[in-house]
Amino acid sequence: MQSFPIRCSSTVWTESSQVSNNDRSQIANEEPKRLSREQMFIMISAASLNFGSMVCYSILGPFFPKEAEKKGVSSTIVGFIFGCFALFNFLTSLIMGKYLVQIGAKFMFIAGMFVSGCVTILFGFLHRAPDGPIFIGLCFLVRAMDAIGFAAAATASFSILINAFPQNVATVVGTLEVFTGLGLVLGPPIGGFLYQSFGYEVPFIALGSVMLCMVPLNMIILPNYNSVPKKDSFLKLIVLPKVAILCLNIFGLSSCIAFLDPTMSLFVLEKFKLPVGYVGLVFLALALPYALSSPLLGFLSDKKPSLRKWLLIVGAFLTTLCYFFLGPAPILHIESQLWLFILMMVLNGFALSMIGIPIYPEAINSAYENGFEEGLNLLGLVSGLFGALWALGFTKCRRHRKEKKYYCFKYDAIFRQLRNIAP
Cβ atoms of 69 and 135 closer than 8 Å:
no
Percent of the chain with pLDDT over 90: 7
117 vs 191 pLDDT, higher one: 117
Which range is least confidently modeled, 79-83, 166-170, 187-191, 273-277?
273-277
Domain ranges of the chain: 21-420
CATH assignment of 21-420?
1.20.1250.20
In this structure, the number of other CB atoms found within 10 A of the CB of residue 176 comes to 22
Structure-model confidence comparison of residues 416 and 286, the more confident one: 286
Helix 105-123 / helix 133-164 crossing angle, nearest 10 deg: 150
Give residue-wise pLDDT tens across range 261-318: 656 666 777 778 776 556 656 767 887 888 888 888 888 888 888 888 899 999 989 9
Whole-number pLDDT of residue 401: 38
pLDDT computed for residue 318 by the predictor: 92
With residue 12 as reference, give the H or E element that holds it: strand 12-13
Q: What is the DSSP string of 202-237?
A: HHHHHHHHHHHHHHHHHHHHSPPEE----S--HHHH
Residue 61 has what pLDDT? 65
Mean residue pLDDT across the chain: 77
Residue 417 is predicted with a pLDDT of 42
**Among the ranges 70-74, 112-116, 131-135, which has the highest mean pLDDT value?**
112-116
Residue 169 has pLDDT above 70, yes or no: yes
Could you tell me which residues come within 8 angstroms of residue 95 by beta carbon, excluding any fewer than 6 positions away?
Answer: 384
pLDDT of residue 148: 92
Q: Is the pTM of this model over 0.85?
A: no
pLDDT for residue 410 is more than 50: no
Bridge-based pairing state of the strands 12-13 and 225-226? antiparallel
Q: Using one digit for the tens of pLDDT, what is the confidence trace for 170-190?
A: 888 888 888 887 887 777 777
Q: How confident is the model at residue 39 (pLDDT cuts 50, 70, 90)?
A: confident
Task: Quote the pLDDT of residue 280.
Answer: 59
Of 336, 374, 401, 382, nearest in space to 98 by CA: 382
Bridge partners of 225?
A: 13
- At 112, the pLDDT band (50, 70, 90 cuts) reads very high
Question: Considering just the CA atoms, what is the radius of gyration of the chain in Å?
Answer: 22
Q: Is 231 exposed, middle or buried (0-12, 13-18, 19+ CB in 10 A)?
A: exposed
